[in-house]
Amino acid sequence: MSGSQALDSFLDKWRARWPEWAVAEVFVPPGQRARAVAWFALLQELDDILNVQGDPLPADAKLGWWATELCDWQAHRSRHPLGRLLEPADAPWQRLADALPALVDARARASDGDAALAALAGFAGAAAAVEAALLEAPPAVAPALAAQVLASRLAEAGLDAVPQSLQPATDGADAREQARRAWAGWLLDAWPARAGGALPRRVWSALARERLRSFAAARPPGRGGRPMRTLWQAWRAARRRS
């Protein structure tokens, strides 16, 4: 596989998970789109490491590889295809590399919602700083990034992602589903309504919040099936400056 094909495979993998983006990106300046999607694809790779099922050792090894790779990006050297679009930026890659162990710690069930957000605070702050440099904008609100990571974890890990304080008292299917939806509702309340940051972040955050809102309300998530609603949400997010 050529370098260009390898890069496209990572970008396409992210787009496949976020089909809404094909509609929403019309509000993102064309010059920002490729780098934004590459950055979001990198964050998705890290989310996958956090949300690994089964034996965590391969994922932990991959996380160690990423830590080394991001340190190399600080010196403008890269091996991963995403580095073609991201590594040239003068971003605090070392800070992000240093924050990666938090993803391993965040797999453990938190005692409550505040503890779950706190476990990702360092990672979210580092990601916000890198994103600000990449997309040449003020940093996003770190709790919004942390909430989005936790929303992704809920979608992938289900009940294992729910803090101890919201775990069901019984093992029935209804009780488990109520616990998951209660956690979704908690995250929505904790997620800052204005994520701030660059325009692509504001748009992606709006899409992710809508998915979580649909889940909390027991509605089908949509995922690209409601283009007019997606356009409206993306337009509103793009207009907001803070």
33-89 per-position pLDDT tens digit: 999 999 999 999 999 999 998 899 999 999 999 999 999 999 999 999 999 999 999
Report the alpha-carbon distance of residue 114 to residue 99 in Å, rounded. Answer: 19
Q: What pTM does this model have? A: 0.94
Rounded distance between C-alpha atoms, residue 106 and residue 31, angstroms: 34
Q: pLDDT tens digits for 190-235?
A: 999 888 999 999 999 999 999 999 999 988 665 556 889 999 999 9
Give me the CATH number covering residue 210.
1.10.600.10
Distance of CA 52 to the CA centre of its chain: 15
What is the C-alpha separation between 133 and 78, in angstroms, rounded? 18
Summarize pLDDT for 10-38 with one digit per residue, the tens.
Answer: 999 999 999 999 999 999 999 999 999 99
Per-residue CA distances from 69 to 26, 96, 149 (Å): 32, 11, 21
Tokens at 134, concatenated: 């990449």
> Is 142 buried (19+), middle (13-18) or exposed (0-12) by CB count in 10 A?
buried
24 Cβ neighbours under 8 A, 6+ residues apart: 203, 204, 206, 207, 230, 231, 233, 234
Domain containing 71: what range? 3-239
Q: How many domains does the chain have?
A: 1
